[in-house]
Amino acid sequence: MTAPKTEITIGSEVGNRAPDFTLLDQNEQPVRLADLLGKGAIVLFFYPKASSPVCTVEACAFRDAYITFSDQNVTVIGISDDPPSEQRKFAQRYRLPYTLLSDERGKVHKLYDARTAFGLMNNRVTFILDRDGIIRHRFADMMNGAKHVQEAIEIIKAL
C-alpha cells in the first residue's frame, strides 16, 4: 500500500510551488530559478524601476542586509522589467552584491502576479521561497521599499 501523493500547486500564493523561470541577469547571463533550489531559501523581490527613488532605497536596504542573508545561506534576487544594461548600471552604481534579473516582456511578473491592480505598472512585491521552491511568504508595499527587507529577515529567521 502506497501513501497518497501530495499534490503541490504551482502559482504565486503562499504554500504553492514558485513558478520556474529563466531570465537574463545584469551581465546578460541566463539564470533559472530551478537551478538555485536546494541550496537554501530564496528572496525574490520585484521592483518597478531601477534607479527610481523608492526602488533605490529598497535595493540598497537589501545590499546593507546582504551579509545577514548570506550568513543564512539565502539567495537574494531582484527583478524588474529594465533591460540588462540598466540593471548592470544600477548594480554598479549602488554596489549591489546580488543578482538582478531583467523581465523585459513581463512574463515572470505575470506568473507571480506582480502587477498593480489595473496591470498598468509593476508592483513592489517580495516572495520568500524555501529551499524546495515553496512560497512561504508574500509581501507587497509599493511605497516602503525598506520594509521588504525587514519582512524578509523576519521570515527567514522563522524558517
Which amino acids are annotated catalytic? 55
* CB half-sphere exposure, 82, CA atoms < 13 A: 24
CA 30 → CA 12, 14, 35, 65, 94, distances in Å?
A: 22, 26, 11, 25, 22
Report the candidate in 37, 74, 34 with the shortest Cα–Cα distance to residue 155: 74
Q: Which of 58, 65, 61, 64 is nearest to 80 (CA)?
A: 58
Nearest one of 76, 67, 58, 60 to 124, comparing CA atoms = 58
